[in-house]
Structure 1
Amino acid sequence: MKSFGHHTLATALCIQLRGREQFRSEVQIRLFLQVQTYHQLQLAIPYSLKCWSHWAETIQSEEEFAANRFSEINERLANARAEIKQQRISSPSVIASRLLKFDDEIEAWRRDLPASWAYKSYCSVRSTGSPPSEVFESHYDKYPDLWIASTWNNYRSVRLLIHEAIIAATLKHGSDEEIANLTASMAVLARMARDICNSVAYIMGRGREGSRSPTPEDGNGSASPGGYLLLWPLFLAGMLRTTRRAQRAWITSEIRHIGTTMGIHLAISMARVLVEHNKSFSDAEVWFIGQFYP
């Protein structure tokens, strides 16, 4: 997994080398915005990503503009998390005060999203004796398009990072009173993980067309390009201390399916970690580049 971190940093260098000529189409801009959100490295955002995001903003649609606002919050959050690690801050109250303000910003961003970002939730009905559902606990969401669905999962992943950091610091260094007050953060972890699971059917292309419920036949064992976009959100959701055993097993199965159908070795490694280790993603043995701090 450490090599994935190196690839992410190398991407930033490629963006810098190619310059503004790369921002000529909607696809190129959206790929750039996607790269901006892959910073689970607990390092500051590379200068090239900060520099070119301001240039790309001038030719963005309403949806892309909203995504860029999210990326700017992400940038400041990444810098704050890097400072916490570099300064070796371990006080739960200090960490919470530094990170929760970004959680508030992200929630304000969500409330201000244009109507074109809205998704709809459904319940899938399965008859007794039929094959297992391709959706988690019979619930799934449908989105306007694949890119918006992926951005929603990036939003959820960022909230997971914020509250997992607070929980990890509090359990390790907090008082009994601080530990007792972790209920709100635990609830955020559970809710974000559930919403990530509910996005899987749409992103994997199961029943994406029309309004019918996803079925096991929709996937047909074939690869779905959306699978790559699910890897990190699903892995983070699977490694949470709040994720139930049945949910973790379902997530593991989905990640393994992505790995085998798309030939992504990283996904196979992720599935193996989920099976072999009963740990949170913030544990040192799991964190893919350096030590998750605190």
Structure 2
Amino acid sequence: MPTKSRCDEQIPACKRCVKRNEICTGYRDDSTLLFRDENAKAAFAAHAPVRRRASSQSARSRVRNDSSASISGKSSTSAPSDDASSPCARPKPLSSPQDDEAISQFFSEYVVYPCTQNSTPGFLEQLPCLFEEVQHSGRIALRMAVEAVSFANIATKGPRNDDLVRKAQQCYGSSLEALANTLEKKEEQVSDYTLMTVVVLDLFEVILHSKLPVSLGTYYFQSIFTPSPLSRTTHSEGLKLLLRLRGPSQIYSERGWSLFRLAHHRIQRTQLSFKHPAMPEQSAWLNSLNDGLPGIRGEKENLEISKICQRARELQKRLRKSSTGQDSEVLQLVKEMHALDQTASTWRVGSQWAFRILTNPYQPSSTTFPEHIHIYPDLWIAYEWNYHRTARIIMHEHLLKCLASLSCHTQTPIQSSYQPSTTTEEEVSALSMFSRHIINTLIEEIFSTVPQLLGDVNSLEDVPIQRDLEKTGEEAEGRGTKAIGAYFLLWSIKVVKSTNSATEMQRERAGLVLERLRKVGGMFDLDSSGG
């Protein structure tokens, strides 16, 4: 749609956009009108006549390819070569309609637009608009990243399509090369397009994590972010770097906050999963915001859990070097962790976090439907709940490791609200049992979100429809094929499967859910807890 033209219908069904076969981003009110930088487009138009005199047909072909998501055309912004010796030589392109269809399918499955005042803030909701703008601005890195994740999304559904997998990987490599060139320009280091590019590349790693050729991975990863080229957390390190470069002002605009939230969420997940320390800037950025808003408060709360888990890891490291004389510090940290968990258990209160609990009318043994089913206002609220639960599970796992390190001969009492203080050995046993109980309860609550996140029920249904997936081995069309729900579930279920305190039955069920995520979202990398 034209920049200042209002949609005639609700997102995403604008008739003008449908007729033009374009993705409609829509506008909710006048305050959300987007004003774009047209300098690059004007410069392009100014030089167009010269190029037409030199090679009219070639230029028109190149512009068409850039605007239709083709991966064969060269770009003035990107330096990838079509030579066969290039580590990311571009594959023979699909026709433009097929490219557009792949991208449209990715948007429809993974982009979540803001809904109501008390509902989801959206997920990747800025991507369609940014993607529309890149065909005028020449930012090839984001375009290639979207193509890579779109092809990967199709390639990993149903029987694996090796040609599309290869094409997705080559688009991924081309995007990395273009991104390396982009980062050489100081003004582009802080642009929204650059940050969104890394967010999309990170999503590609989740959807299709397969080993790139060493030369490709080493060259591009080293040239962009880290000295550890094939690290699983490379994009997270890149996101940290970009957030630092963008500075504190990035969070005060609608688009800036949306991008910050996406990147910061991923960084926090990496910190919890891969035992990375929190960034010093994180607290300063978030403390400047109003924590009365649910999204901001949630980010602050999860950061507190991440920081105390880091303290627990540092203490465990010291205890491994010296097992004596540390009991008092362990006791103090245990008390702080229990106090934080008591506070954390009250964080998700209020109407915006409310959900309904249905009793499974079928046999509780079904892997499709657990004994209790949670119904949330939308998928994002369910994801936020699961993120919170998963962070608490990780914190209690650290707490159990701290308790296990205590010298049991010490008679120092632990002041706890759960059990009267007696001896350290008795109190440690009681606190350990309590933490395991909390972990098992949180795991069951995560399982209760699976039916809605995978599309078996929605927020309007009171009675779930049973489908025997164990016998058919297939996902029904439409319902039960929620790719975004599978992505939202992935990290939590992987953590559950690797949690030492989970019961054998819970780990077995987590494995069954992961197998279903493989069928729904085409996610092959299901073996580690990184997500």
TM-score range with shorter-chain normalisation?
Answer: 0.7 to 0.9
5 Å matches for 1:182-201? 182-201=432-451
How many residues were matched structurally? 264
Q: 1:133 to 1:255 in 2, by over 3 A?
A: closer
Q: 1:179 to 1:54 in 2, by over 3 A?
A: closer
- Which of residues 442, 459, 464 is equivalent to 1:213? 464
Q: Does 1:10 pair with 2:238?
A: yes
Q: Does 1:177 pair with 2:426?
A: yes
**Matched AA of 2:426:** E
- Which of residues 312, 331, 335 is equivalent to 1:97? 335
- Which of residues 265, 283, 297 is equivalent to 1:34? 265
Contact 1:123–1:140 (Cα < 8 Å) also in 2: yes
Q: Does 1:124 pair with 2:383?
A: no
Q: 1:179 to 1:132 in 2, by over 3 A?
A: same
Contact 2:302–2:391 (Cα < 8 Å) also in 1: no
Higher relative CO (CA 8 A, sep ≥ 6), structure 1 or 2?
Answer: 1
Per-residue deviation, residues 244-286 of structure 1 (Å, max 9, x unmatched) = 323221210111222344233322x24xxxxxxxxxxxxxxxx
- Which of residues 243, 257, 262 is equivalent to 2:502? 243
Contact 1:196–1:233 (Cα < 8 Å) also in 2: yes
Per-residue deviation, residues 211-240 of structure 1 (Å, max 9, x unmatched) = 131533795263521212222221222233
How far apart, CA to CA, are the structure 1 residues paired with 2:512 and 2:395? 26
* Pair member with larger Rg: 2
How far apart, CA to CA, are the structure 1 residues paired with 2:519 and 2:310? 35
Contact 1:42–1:81 (Cα < 8 Å) also in 2: no
Contact 2:286–2:296 (Cα < 8 Å) also in 1: no
TM-score w.r.t. length of structure 2: 0.44
Q: 1:119 to 1:44 in 2, by over 3 A?
A: same
SS in 2 for 1:125: coil
Q: 1:243 to 1:74 in 2, by over 3 A?
A: closer
Q: 1:214 to 1:21 in 2, by over 3 A?
A: farther
TM-score w.r.t. length of structure 1: 0.74
Per-residue deviation, residues 11-64 of structure 1 (Å, max 9, x unmatched) = 222323345457524743542453354121333212353444345x35x88322
How far apart, CA to CA, are the structure 1 residues paired with 2:283 and 2:525? 27
Residue 192 of structure 2 is matched in structure 1 by: none
Contact 1:13–1:48 (Cα < 8 Å) also in 2: no
Q: Does 1:148 pair with 2:378?
A: no
Contact 1:122–1:141 (Cα < 8 Å) also in 2: yes
Contact 1:15–1:49 (Cα < 8 Å) also in 2: no
How far apart, CA to CA, are the structure 2 residues paired with 1:214 and 1:122? 13
- Which of residues 62, 73, 76 is equivalent to 2:304? 73
Q: 1:191 to 1:106 in 2, by over 3 A?
A: same
Q: 1:207 to 1:105 in 2, by over 3 A?
A: same
Contact 1:133–1:216 (Cα < 8 Å) also in 2: no
5 Å matches for 1:238-277? 238-267=497-526, 269-270=527-528
Q: CA RMSD in A?
A: 3.4
Q: Does 1:64 pair with 2:295?
A: yes
SS in 1 for 2:374: strand
> 1:118 Cα shift?
0.9
SS in 2 for 1:216: coil
Contact 2:375–2:459 (Cα < 8 Å) also in 1: no
Which structure is higher in helix share?
1
The answer for unaligned runs of 5 or more in structure 2 is 1-208, 210-229, 409-424, 470-474
Residue 24 of structure 1 is matched in structure 2 by: 254
> 1:121 Cα shift?
0.8
Residue 483 of structure 2 is matched in structure 1 by: 224
Identity across matched positions, percent: 17
**Matched AA of 1:249:** E
Q: Does 1:159 pair with 2:410?
A: no
Q: 1:51 to 1:86 in 2, by over 3 A?
A: farther
Residue 344 of structure 2 is matched in structure 1 by: 106
**Matched AA of 1:73:** E
SS in 1 for 2:484: coil
Contact 2:396–2:439 (Cα < 8 Å) also in 1: yes
> 1:152 Cα shift?
1.2
Contact 2:319–2:405 (Cα < 8 Å) also in 1: no
Residue 279 of structure 1 is matched in structure 2 by: none
How far apart, CA to CA, are the structure 2 residues paired with 1:162 and 1:191? 14
How far apart, CA to CA, are the structure 2 residues paired with 1:203 and 1:150? 8
Contact 2:305–2:392 (Cα < 8 Å) also in 1: no
Q: Does 1:134 pair with 2:384?
A: no
Q: 1:246 to 1:233 in 2, by over 3 A?
A: same
Per-residue deviation, residues 69-91 of structure 1 (Å, max 9, x unmatched) = 42342354244335425644764
The answer for unaligned runs of 5 or more in structure 1 is 271-286, 289-294
